[in-house]
Amino acid sequence: MTDNILKIEGLCKDRGKTRVLHDVSLTVSPGERVALLGHNGAGKSTLIKAVLGLIPIEGGSISVASHRPGKGAARSATAFLPEAVSFHPALTGREQLSLFARLSGERADVPGLLERVGLADALDRRIGTYSKGMRQRLGLAQVLLGHPKVALLDEPTSGLDPISRQDLYAIIDELAAGGCAVLIASHALTEVEARTDRIAIMSKGHLVANDTLTGLSAKAGLKTRLRVRAAQDADAIAAQIGGSRINGASVEILCTPDQKMIELRRIAAMGDAVADVDITPPRLEDLYRHYAREELK
């Protein structure tokens, strides 16, 4: 018995003569939220389509709830939110969701689900009249349909306003709390930072990192940035504490996280010469850039 509900091992996928996925291995356990990051064309959507069994793969293996992708049991266990989700404009939200419910063989509370995603008013309106955000919400409603064991969300926040994003992550947390393994493909780095348990980074079809945010930071050895604003003479401060002057009034110091307090004490010792200090810990952006660049070498 394995703990991982979604297991990808050595996955390879060719598109024409180009290999678009190189030996990708990734697992997600029940209740875990994993962010899959990468810029456009890194292979995130291709990976998700392979897990859904929508496209044939050239190598490796995938198992979804112990089934091969594309098998009936695997599809029943999986929920999918495509990037820029779209539906037939002539159907209403209720009809579309009822169709999905019948296809998955679930007795679903369609009005309840639509209310859950804030579409109660648009229940019987045609999807053609929906805004992009509303379509995205409808897409989310069909993810909640049928209590999935694995949820694959491709750019779920695209087209959503900030409040809708909050709602979206609340729903994702709810799914995970119910034991669903959630894989979120995104390039909105700051959003997933606090909302996921683990981060996998893809670059040019390779999986270049797969760890928790802290783990990734430690491995990358990224520096914390201290920006010191001088009260009068920036050059004098630069000379005294090292670092580089970035404009007329500020000096920037890069240090490892464990060096941070030592540097701060030195800065504090200078007294009135320092007007302000900003501390920026390494961000996901920096991490992403680090891992994506490392792969290029």
Partner 1 sequence: MIRFLAIARAEMRILQRNRWLLMATVIMVLFALALTFAGSAPTGSLGVDMLTVSVASMTTLSVYLAPLLALMISFDAVAGETDRGSLGLLLSYPAGRGEVLLGKFAAHLAALAFAMLIGFGSAGAVAAWFGGAGAESLIALGRLIATSIILGAVFLTLGYLVSSLASSATAAAGMSAGLWLIFVVLYDLGLLGAVVVDEGGVFTRQIFPWVMVANPADAFRLWNVAASDGVALTSGMTGVAQALPAWAAPLSLLLWPFLGFAAARAAFRRVEP
Give, as ranges, the residues between 18 and 57 that touch partner 1 (CB under 8 A): 49, 52, 54-55
Give the pairing type, strands 150-154 and 224-230.
unpaired
Contact pick of 76, 158, 240, 259 for partner 1 (by CB under 8 A): 76
Contact pick of 39, 88, 132, 266 for partner 1 (by CB under 8 A): 88
Phi, psi of 278 (to 5 degrees): -110, 135
Which residues, including other chains, have CB under 8 Å from residue 4's CB and lie 6 or more apart? 27, 28, 29
Give, as ranges, the residues between 202 and 221 that touch partner 1 (CB under 8 A): none
Beta strands in the chain (DSSP E): 6-15, 18-28, 33-37, 59-64, 78-81, 150-154, 181-186, 198-203, 206-211, 224-230, 244-245, 250-255, 274-280
Q: Which of 135, 140, 134 is nearest to 172 (CA)?
A: 140
- Does residue 133 belong to the site contacting partner 1 (CB under 8 A)? no
Q: In angstroms, what CA-CA distances link 161 with 132, 156, 166?
A: 10, 12, 9
Number of residues that bind partner 1 (CB under 8 A): 29
Nearer to partner 1, 67 or 245 (CB): 67
- Does residue 86 belong to the site contacting partner 1 (CB under 8 A)? yes
C-alpha to C-alpha distance for 292 and 297, rounded to whole angstroms: 10
- Does residue 156 belong to the site contacting partner 1 (CB under 8 A)? no
- Does residue 90 belong to the site contacting partner 1 (CB under 8 A)? yes
- Does residue 158 belong to the site contacting partner 1 (CB under 8 A)? no
Contact pick of 26, 28, 87, 284 for partner 1 (by CB under 8 A): 87
Contact pick of 4, 25, 29, 104 for partner 1 (by CB under 8 A): 104
Query: What is the smallest separation between the CB atom of 138 and partner 1, expressed in angstroms?
Result: 11
C-alpha to C-alpha distance for 23 and 47, rounded to whole angstroms: 11
Nearer to partner 1, 100 or 169 (CB): 100
In the numeric block, which tokens belong to residue 237? 């401060």
Query: What is the smallest separation between the CB atom of 163 and partner 1, expressed in angstroms?
Result: 25
Nearer to partner 1, 150 or 209 (CB): 150
Count, residues in the chain: 297
Q: Which residues bind partner 1 (CB under 8 A)?
A: 49, 52, 54-55, 72, 75-76, 78-80, 82, 84-88, 90-91, 95-96, 99-100, 102-105, 126, 139, 142
